[in-house]
Structure 1
Amino acid sequence: MTKRRLLLLCLIAFVFAAFFLSGADQALTLDNLKGEQARFQAWLAEEPLTVAGGFFALYVAMAALSLPGAALLTLLGGALFGFGWGLLLISFASSLGATLAALIARTLLQGPLERRFAGPLERINAGIRREGTFYLFTLRLIPLFPFFVINLVMGLTRMPLRTFYWVSQLGMLPGTAVYVNAGRELGDLDSLAGILSPGLIGSFVLVGLFPWLARALVSVAKRRRLARRFARPARFDHDVVVIGGGSAGLVASYIAAAVNARVALVERDRLGGDCLNTGCVPSKALIRAARSVAEIRRAPRYGVEVGAPRVDFSAVMAHVHRAIQEIEPHDSRERYEGLGVEVVGGEAWLADPWHVRVREENGERVLTTRHVIIASGASPWVPPLPGLESVEVLTSDTLWQLETLPDRLLVLGGGPIGCELGQSFARLGSRVTLVEMGAQLLPREDDDAAAEVEARLSEEGIAVRLNAKALRAVAREEGGHGLEIETGEGTEVLPFDRLLVAVGRRANVEGMGLEALGVETRPDGTLAVDETLRSVLPNVWACGDVAGPFQLTHAGAHQAWHATVNALFGEVRRFRVGYRALPAVTFTDPEVARVGLNEQEARAQGVAFEVTRYALSELDRAIADGQRDGFVKVLTVPGKDRLLGATLVGAGAGEMLAEFTLAMTHGIGLNKLLGTVHPYPTRSEAVKATAGVWKNAHKPARVLGWLARYFAWRRGEDTTRRGKGKPDA
Structure 2
Amino acid sequence: MNNTKNETTSDTRVTSSGQLPKEPLVEELDLLILGGGTGSTIAAWTFAAEGKRVAAIDRKYIGGSCPNIACLPSKNIIHSAKVASYFRHSNEFGITHNGFTIDMSGVRERKRKMVRSLNEMYLSNYEKTGAEFIPGTGRFIAPKTVEVVLADGTIRRLRGMNVIVSTGTRAKLEAIPGLAEAQPLTHIEALELDQIPEHLVVVGSGYVGVEFAQAMRRFGSRVTVIGRRPRLMPQEDEDVSEALRGLLEDEGIDVLLNTRIKRVSGISGDSVRVLIEQNGTEKILDASHLLVAAGRTPNTEGLGLELAGVELTDRGYIKVNERLQTTAPGVWAIGEVAGSPQFTHISVDDFRVVHNNLNGVHHVTTGRQVPYCLFTDPELARIGLNENEARAQGTAYRLFKVPMESNLRARTLSETRGFVKALVEADSDRILGFTAFGVGAAEIMSSVQIAMNAGVLYTALRDAILTHPTLVEGLIPLFSSTPSIPRMESEVTTSQALTATR
- Aligned twin of 1:527: 318
Of residues 220, 243, 266 in structure 2, which corresponds to 1:429?
A: 220
Q: What is the CA-CA distance between 1:309 and the residue it aligns to?
A: 3.0
Of residues 2, 14, 28 in structure 2, which corresponds to 1:237?
A: 28
Are positions 1:501 and 2:289 aligned together? no
- Aligned twin of 1:410: 201
- Aligned twin of 2:141: 351
Q: What is the CA-CA distance between 1:366 and the residue it aligns to?
A: 2.0
Change (3 A) 1:350 1:574: farther
- Aligned twin of 2:396: 608
Change (3 A) 1:521 1:603: farther
Of residues 81, 89, 100 in structure 2, which corresponds to 1:309?
A: 100
Change (3 A) 1:605 1:519: farther
Q: What amino acid is aligned across from residue 542 of structure 1 in structure 2? A: A
Of residues 316, 325, 338 in structure 1, which corresponds to 2:128?
A: 338
Is the 1:353–1:539 contact (alpha carbons within 8 Å) kept by the matching residues of 2? Answer: no
Are positions 1:650 and 2:438 aligned together? yes
Q: What is the CA-CA distance between 1:423 and the residue it aligns to?
A: 0.5
For residues 602 and 307 of structure 1, the distance between their equivalents in structure 2, rounded to whole angstroms, comes to 52
For residues 38 and 111 of structure 2, the distance between their equivalents in structure 1, rounded to whole angstroms, comes to 19
Higher normalized strand content (fraction of residues) = 2
Are positions 1:247 and 2:38 aligned together? yes
Is the 2:334–2:340 contact (alpha carbons within 8 Å) kept by the matching residues of 1? Answer: no
Is the 2:143–2:309 contact (alpha carbons within 8 Å) kept by the matching residues of 1? Answer: no
For residues 162 and 73 of structure 2, the distance between their equivalents in structure 1, rounded to whole angstroms, comes to 33
Q: CA-to-partner distance for each residue in 1:184-220, whole Å, 9 max, x for gaps?
A: xxxxxxxxxxxxxxxxxxxxxxxxxxxxxxxxxxxxx
Q: What amino acid is aligned across from residue 318 of structure 2 in structure 1? A: L
- Aligned twin of 1:587: 375
Alignment of 1:561-572 (within 5 A): 561-566=352-357, 568-569=358-359, 572=360
Is the 2:73–2:115 contact (alpha carbons within 8 Å) kept by the matching residues of 1? Answer: yes
Is the 1:236–1:370 contact (alpha carbons within 8 Å) kept by the matching residues of 2? Answer: no
- Aligned twin of 1:35: none
For residues 432 and 222 of structure 2, the distance between their equivalents in structure 1, rounded to whole angstroms, comes to 40
Q: CA-to-partner distance for each residue in 1:542-600, whole Å, 9 max, x for gaps?
A: 1111112311111111111112322x22xx44210245322100000121001112122
For residues 276 and 670 of structure 1, the distance between their equivalents in structure 2, rounded to whole angstroms, comes to 36
Q: Which blocks of at least 5 consecutive residues in structure 2 are unaligned? A: 1-25, 486-502
For residues 378 and 255 of structure 2, the distance between their equivalents in structure 1, rounded to whole angstroms, comes to 16
Change (3 A) 1:406 1:442: same
Of residues 337, 340, 357 in structure 2, which corresponds to 1:549?
A: 340
Q: What is the CA-CA distance between 1:473 and the residue it aligns to?
A: 0.3
For residues 453 and 313 of structure 2, the distance between their equivalents in structure 1, rounded to whole angstroms, comes to 29
Is the 2:45–2:125 contact (alpha carbons within 8 Å) kept by the matching residues of 1? Answer: no
Q: What amino acid is aligned across from residue 515 of structure 1 in structure 2? A: E
Q: What is the CA-CA distance between 1:346 and the residue it aligns to?
A: 1.8
Aligned partner of residue 678 in structure 1, secondary structure: coil
Q: Which blocks of at least 5 consecutive residues in structure 1 are unaligned? A: 1-234, 699-729
Is the 2:230–2:257 contact (alpha carbons within 8 Å) kept by the matching residues of 1? Answer: yes
Is the 1:582–1:661 contact (alpha carbons within 8 Å) kept by the matching residues of 2? Answer: no
For residues 30 and 395 of structure 2, the distance between their equivalents in structure 1, rounded to whole angstroms, comes to 42
For residues 402 and 594 of structure 1, the distance between their equivalents in structure 2, rounded to whole angstroms, comes to 31
Q: CA-to-partner distance for each residue in 1:339-388, whole Å, 9 max, x for gaps?
A: 02122222222223332222233432222221111011111111121012
Is the 1:580–1:596 contact (alpha carbons within 8 Å) kept by the matching residues of 2? Answer: no
Aligned partner of residue 682 in structure 1, secondary structure: coil
Q: What is the CA-CA distance between 1:325 and the residue it aligns to?
A: 1.7
- Aligned twin of 1:215: none
Of residues 324, 327, 345 in structure 1, which corresponds to 2:118?
A: 327
Aligned partner of residue 140 in structure 2, secondary structure: strand
Change (3 A) 1:607 1:517: farther
Is the 1:252–1:564 contact (alpha carbons within 8 Å) kept by the matching residues of 2? Answer: yes
- Aligned twin of 1:628: 416
Change (3 A) 1:580 1:610: farther
For residues 470 and 160 of structure 2, the distance between their equivalents in structure 1, rounded to whole angstroms, comes to 52
- Aligned twin of 2:182: 391
Q: What amino acid is aligned across from residue 250 of structure 1 in structure 2? A: T
Higher normalized helix content (fraction of residues) = 1
Of residues 217, 240, 244 in structure 2, which corresponds to 1:453?
A: 244
Q: What amino acid is aligned across from residue 427 of structure 2 in structure 1? A: G
For residues 354 and 580 of structure 1, the distance between their equivalents in structure 2, rounded to whole angstroms, comes to 29
- Aligned twin of 2:235: 444
For residues 340 and 133 of structure 2, the distance between their equivalents in structure 1, rounded to whole angstroms, comes to 28
Are positions 1:683 and 2:474 aligned together? no
Q: What is the CA-CA distance between 1:436 and the residue it aligns to?
A: 0.5
Q: What is the CA-CA distance between 1:690 and the residue it aligns to?
A: 1.8
Q: What amino acid is aligned across from residue 576 of structure 1 in structure 2? A: V
For residues 382 and 295 of structure 2, the distance between their equivalents in structure 1, rounded to whole angstroms, comes to 20
Change (3 A) 1:664 1:581: farther
Which deviates the most, 357-366 or 594-603? 357-366
Q: CA-to-partner distance for each residue in 1:84-122, whole Å, 9 max, x for gaps?
A: xxxxxxxxxxxxxxxxxxxxxxxxxxxxxxxxxxxxxxx
Alignment of 1:29-48 (within 5 A): none
After superposing on structure 2, the runs of 4+ consecutive aligned residues of structure 1 that deviate more than 6 Å are: none
- Aligned twin of 2:253: 462
Of residues 363, 379, 382 in structure 2, which corresponds to 1:575?
A: 363
Is the 1:268–1:345 contact (alpha carbons within 8 Å) kept by the matching residues of 2? Answer: yes
Q: What is the CA-CA distance between 1:460 and the residue it aligns to?
A: 0.8
Alignment of 1:49-64 (within 5 A): none
Q: Percent of aligned pairs with the same residue? A: 33
Alignment of 1:3-42 (within 5 A): none
Q: What is the CA-CA distance between 1:496 and the residue it aligns to?
A: 0.8
Q: TM-score, normalised by structure 2?
A: 0.86
Q: What amino acid is aligned across from residue 419 of structure 1 in structure 2? A: V
Q: What amino acid is aligned across from residue 253 of structure 1 in structure 2? A: A
Is the 1:246–1:377 contact (alpha carbons within 8 Å) kept by the matching residues of 2? Answer: yes
Q: TM-score, normalised by structure 1?
A: 0.60
Aligned partner of residue 66 in structure 2, secondary structure: helix
- Aligned twin of 1:512: 303
Is the 1:293–1:428 contact (alpha carbons within 8 Å) kept by the matching residues of 2? Answer: yes
Root mean square deviation, CA, Å: 2.1
For residues 156 and 444 of structure 2, the distance between their equivalents in structure 1, rounded to whole angstroms, comes to 48
Larger radius of gyration: 1
For residues 416 and 328 of structure 1, the distance between their equivalents in structure 2, rounded to whole angstroms, comes to 25
Alignment of 1:166-205 (within 5 A): none
Is the 2:143–2:307 contact (alpha carbons within 8 Å) kept by the matching residues of 1? Answer: no
Change (3 A) 1:638 1:310: same
Change (3 A) 1:236 1:500: closer
- Aligned twin of 2:459: 671
For residues 425 and 500 of structure 1, the distance between their equivalents in structure 2, rounded to whole angstroms, comes to 11
Aligned partner of residue 89 in structure 2, secondary structure: helix
Q: CA-to-partner distance for each residue in 1:656-704, whole Å, 9 max, x for gaps?
A: 111011112221221221232111111111122222226x779xxxxxx
Aligned partner of residue 305 in structure 2, secondary structure: coil
For residues 393 and 314 of structure 2, the distance between their equivalents in structure 1, rounded to whole angstroms, comes to 20
Change (3 A) 1:315 1:663: same
For residues 227 and 371 of structure 2, the distance between their equivalents in structure 1, rounded to whole angstroms, comes to 24
Larger relative contact order, structure 1 or 2 (CA cutoff 8 Å, min sep 6): 2
For residues 268 and 677 of structure 1, the distance between their equivalents in structure 2, rounded to whole angstroms, comes to 51
Alignment of 1:210-225 (within 5 A): none
For residues 43 and 209 of structure 2, the distance between their equivalents in structure 1, rounded to whole angstroms, comes to 30
Q: What is the CA-CA distance between 1:517 and the residue it aligns to?
A: 3.9
